[in-house]
């Protein structure tokens, strides 16, 4: 039986992409280990749905200064390298699957690579663009150039590179990655959780309920959303906004939502299990994805948008490049960072149930090409190409 080790600077099984990939490989008969961060209350080591999970004593520090991020990334990479060495000593790995950022996490695969393991680098976010958005270009072109070189170094040493959108792939290749080595594995809704048939028919509630879910950071447009909803609340007494998620902006959002005109109209519901989020999205009258536009977000195809469409919910989203290319139809697009335009789109759909139903139907049809059933086959094909074997 082939042995696979995944490294991810995140919590597991909370990271949806890693969880889906690990489960798919385990279901195909591969022996899968995941090395991840450990948060309070989690076991250091456990067996989860047939997957060996090793959690290292490193935690995330969202919203921290750059030195804290660097220390956190470095501590995890060093500890992960030691963990890979220890696990491989017992039985060698056939494939090391490194999820980035940070791109230098590939160094932790060194001990297994030395013993013949193949390397898959799975790029969730492009580090130069992510750094520029998060730290506003601190360090200038020199810092961005260094990050781009680290990214390309990771691509060069990999046997295969995966990333999440065609736009990401184009940039990786433009910066020097070997085109034949780089493939796209889209982030797709978990079809077991975001399943309209399993959730059943949508209950008709009172009022007009808008839902947003995801990480609460500036680049995802939460400020724009609250500004827009203040305009909506002034004109629709029955409108309410539910926000699911956690992140750097949560304290500020709590302060704003405790003041008129948002007081009593906005609920911040925190980080909830995906099953609960799926039920909330399925019950929404409208879902909103208000991303701002920058070098990073312009390339993103938000999974939260795909989840809403898969559940047959009408959606309003920012017309960033990736969203606009993926959904010329099926999503009501508005200019990024424009609260007035977002409010007008919400109000127009609130006033027109037939338009909402038509938009939802278009979106449900358009999202079918983003299916984990199809993406899973691509992942398994990649592993077959690498020589990973199913049990006899």
Burial zone of 287 (CB within 10 Å; 0-12 exposed, 13-18 middle, 19+ buried): buried
166 and 281 Cβ atoms separated by less than 8 Å: no
330 and 360 Cβ atoms separated by less than 8 Å: no
CATH number of 196-369, picked from 3.40.50.150, 3.20.20.140, 3.40.50.2000, 3.10.129.10: 3.40.50.2000
- What lies within 8 Å, CB to CB, of 98 at 6+ separation is 6, 7, 105, 106, 108, 109, 119, 120, 121, 122, 154
How many angstroms separate the CA atoms of 136 and 296, rounded? 11
How many angstroms separate the CA atoms of 248 and 243, rounded? 14
At residue 69, the pLDDT reads 86
How many angstroms separate the CA atoms of 363 and 214, rounded? 19
What homologous superfamily does CATH list for 3-188+371-385? Glycogen Phosphorylase B; (3.40.50.2000)
The CA-based diameter of the chain, rounded to the nearest angstrom, is 66
- CB-side exposure of 76: number of CA atoms within 13 Å? 29
Output b/e per residue, 230-263; b: 16+ Cβ within 10 A.
bbbbeebeebbbbbbbebebbeebeebbeeeebe
DSSP assignment of 204-267: P-SSEEEEEES---GGGTHHHHHHHHHHHHHH-TTEEEEEE--STTHHHHHHHHTSTTTTTTEE
At residue 203, the pLDDT reads 65
The domains of the chain are located at 3-188+371-385, 196-369
pLDDT in tens, the chain (392 residues): 599 999 999 999 989 899 999 999 999 999 999 999 999 999 999 999 999 999 999 988 777 788 888 999 999 999 999 999 999 988 899 999 999 999 999 999 998 998 899 999 999 999 999 888 888 777 778 888 999 999 999 999 999 999 999 989 999 999 999 999 999 999 998 888 898 888 766 666 678 999 999 999 999 999 999 999 999 999 999 999 999 999 889 999 999 999 999 999 999 999 998 899 999 999 999 999 999 998 889 999 999 999 999 999 999 999 999 999 999 999 999 999 999 999 999 999 999 999 999 999 999 999 999 999 899 999 999 999 998 654 33
DSSP assignment of 147-212: HHHHHHHHHHH-SEEEES-HHHHHHHHHTT--GGGEEE------TTTS-HHHH-SPPP-SSEEEEE
Sign of CA dihedral 243, 249, 255, 261: negative
Say yes or no: do domains 3-188+371-385 and 196-369 share a fold.
Answer: yes
Measured CA distances, 150 to 167, 178, 308, 319, 355 (Å):
19, 15, 35, 31, 48
At residue 178, the pLDDT reads 97
How many beta carbons lie within 10 A of that of residue 352, not counting itself?
12
Question: What 3-state DSSP class applies to 7?
Answer: strand
At residue 208, the pLDDT reads 96
C-alpha closest to that of 287 among 265, 319, 307, 315 = 315
At residue 390, the pLDDT reads 45
Q: pTM for the complete prediction?
A: 0.86
At residue 392, the pLDDT reads 35
């Amino acid at each position: 039986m082939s042995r696979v080790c995944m490294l991810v600077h995140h919590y597991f099984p909370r990271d949806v992409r890693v969880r889906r990939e690990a489960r798919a490989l385990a279901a195909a008969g591969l022996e899968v280990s995941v090395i991840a961060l450990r948060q309070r209350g989690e076991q250091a080591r456990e067996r989860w749905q047939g997957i060996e999970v090793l959690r290292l004593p490193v935690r995330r520090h969202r919203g921290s200064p750059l030195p804290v991020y660097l220390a956190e990334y470095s501590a995890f990479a060093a500890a992960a390298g030691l963990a890979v060495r220890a696990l491989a000593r017992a039985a060698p790995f056939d494939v090391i699957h490194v999820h980035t950022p940070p791109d230098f996490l590939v160094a932790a695969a060194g001990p297994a690579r030395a013993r013949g393991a193949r390397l898959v680098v799975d790029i969730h976010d492009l580090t130069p663009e992510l750094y520029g958005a998060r730290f506003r270009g601190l360090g200038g072109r020199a810092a961005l150039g260094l990050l781009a070189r680290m990214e390309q170094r990771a691509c060069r040493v990999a046997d295969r590179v995966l990333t999440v959108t065609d736009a990401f792939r184009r940039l990786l290749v433009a910066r020097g990655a070997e085109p034949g080595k780089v493939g796209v594995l889209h982030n797709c809704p978990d079809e077991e959780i975001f399943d309209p048939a399993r959730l059943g028919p949508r209950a008709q509630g009172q009022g007009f309920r808008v839902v947003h879910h995801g990480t609460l950071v500036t680049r995802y447009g939460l400020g724009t959303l609250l500004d827009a909803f203040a305009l909506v609340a002034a004109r629709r007494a029955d409108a309410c906004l539910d926000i699911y998620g956690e992140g750097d902006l949560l304290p500020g959002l709590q302060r704003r939502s405790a003041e008129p005109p948002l007081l009593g109209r906005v609920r911040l519901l925190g980080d909830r299990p995906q099953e609960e989020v799926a039920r909330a999205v399925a019950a929404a009258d409208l879902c909103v994805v208000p991303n701002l536009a920058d070098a990073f977000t312009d390339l993103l195809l938000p999974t939260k948008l795909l989840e809403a469409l898969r559940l047959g919910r009408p959606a309003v989203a920012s017309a960033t490049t990736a969203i606009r290319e993926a959904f010329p139809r099926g999503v009501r697009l508005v200019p990024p960072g424009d609260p007035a335009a977002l409010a007008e789109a919400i109000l127009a759909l609130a006033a027109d149930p037939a338009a909402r139903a038509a938009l939802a139907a278009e979106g449900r049809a358009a999202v079918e090409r983003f299916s984990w059933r199809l993406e899973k086959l691509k992942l398994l094909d990649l592993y077959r190409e690498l020589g990973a074997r199913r049990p006899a």
